[in-house]
Amino acid sequence: MKFFKKIKPFHVDKRGEMIYLIEGAAIQSVLRITCKKGSIRANHIHTKDSHYSYMLDGSMEYYFREDVNSKSPIKHITVKKGEMVYTPPNEAHAMKFLEESVFLAFTTEKRNKDKYEEDLIRVELIK
């Protein structure tokens, strides 16, 4: 996993706050994804795509194995509202939602259905 971070405002005044989510990335798609408590998403590897997942509301356990060809242990972190995790290409990953959740996925490849499926290798990190 390249990074996980808590997002903090860079500017706050009486009108509100400003937060940088992503800078300098070639984003092709932004998705708003809703998730039911207990649901599992991903359980796959992207061969080309990478994505940033920013938790708008709720929380998830994010599972990953950095070296897809290794037998290394599966690691996990908890991602909460206002936090973001980056998934690079060729990293096995899965998400289990701990409560009703909404997150934004910023992707480096377009997410049309056919191209998306061509980029995936399905795995089962979690059940």
What mean pLDDT do residues 16-27 have? 89
β-pairing verdict for 59-65 and 75-80: antiparallel
| 26-57 confidence digits (pLDDT tens) | 999 999 999 999 999 999 999 999 999 999 99
Q: How far apart are CA 95 and CA 117, in angstroms?
A: 18
What mean pLDDT do residues 107-118 have? 85
pTM above 0.95, yes or no: no
pLDDT above 80 (res 2): no
Predicted local distance difference test score (pLDDT) of residue 107: 95
CATH pick for 4-122 out of 3.40.50.2300, 1.10.3720.10, 2.60.120.10, 3.40.220.10: 2.60.120.10
Secondary structure element (H or E) that encloses residue 69, with its range:
none
CB 51 within 8 A of CB 84: no
Using a CB cutoff of 8 Å and minimum separation of 24, what contacts does 13-18 make?
A: none
